[in-house]
Structure 1
């Protein structure tokens, strides 16, 4: 009887320690995913910035679009600026969806999503955002609600 009781206690301790180890492992995995996401985002943004910096024509188109000087844009110009805008949006949309999983710190998330709301509010870029993303209005409202205290 005493032997069975010792075995039961040892088994219960092993189960509890296993649960503790699983929780610890999950926390480490969560942190690793967050770091990988941040590194991926940084790499993507570096590529986008390098593309704009090394392509004088694209930089000029973006600058003109920022000032709504797009009346003489060719269809190719419009397409280039559209793809640049979507490249800027893509990591932000991914981050938007990751936020609901608590993978990104709220302050960092709000800083990142500020670019989304800036593009969304701009007359030219906002039209691109709204035409490409059916739920753009809902995302902008949600960002503004979540980040109201972080400004």
Structure 2
């Protein structure tokens, strides 16, 4: 009887220890995912900035779009600027969805999403954001709610 009781206690302790190890492993996996996401995000943002820095024509088109000087844009110019804007937004949209799972620190997330809000509010780029993302208004409201409350 004592031996069976001892075996039961040891088994229960082993189960509890196993659960503690699983929780620890999940935490490590979460941190690894967060680091991988941040590195991927940094790479994408760097590529977008490098494309603008190394491509004079694209930089001129973006600068003109930011000044709302788009009346002489050709269809190809419009497409280039639209594709740049969507490429620029892609990592931010990914971060938006990861934030809902608490993978990114809120302050870092708010800093990153500031670019989304700037493009959303811009007359030219806002139209691109709203046409490409059916839920852009909801994202904007969520960003404002999370980031203004925590200032």
Interval containing the TM-score (normalised by the shorter chain): over 0.9
Please list the CA deviations of residues 22-43 of structure 1 after superposition, one character each: whole Å capped at 9, or x if unmatched.
0000000000000000000000
- Give the unaligned 5+ runs of structure 2: none
Name 2:34's counterpart in structure 1: 34
Name 2:49's counterpart in structure 1: 49
Q: Does 1:94 align with 2:94?
A: yes
Please list the CA deviations of residues 35-62 of structure 1 after superposition, one character each: whole Å capped at 9, or x if unmatched.
0000000001111111111100000000
C-alpha root-mean-square deviation of aligned residues, in Å?
0.7
Give the paired residue count. Answer: 151
Name 2:79's counterpart in structure 1: 79
Q: Is the 8 A contact 1:110 1:150 kept in 2?
A: no
Task: Flag as ranges the 4+ runs of structure 1 deviating above 3 A.
Answer: none
Name 1:140's counterpart in structure 2: 140
Instruction: Give the TM-score normalised by structure 2.
Output: 0.98
Please list the CA deviations of residues 63-114 of structure 1 after superposition, one character each: whole Å capped at 9, or x if unmatched.
0000000000000000000000000111111111111100000000000000
Name 1:59's counterpart in structure 2: 59
Mapped to 2, the partners of 1:150 and 1:63 lie a distance apart of 32
Instruction: Give the TM-score normalised by structure 1.
Output: 0.98
Mapped to 1, the partners of 2:138 and 2:9 lie a distance apart of 53
Q: CA deviation at 1:149?
A: 3.2
- Give the unaligned 5+ runs of structure 1: none
Q: Is the 8 A contact 1:61 1:77 kept in 2?
A: yes
Mapped to 1, the partners of 2:121 and 2:74 lie a distance apart of 23
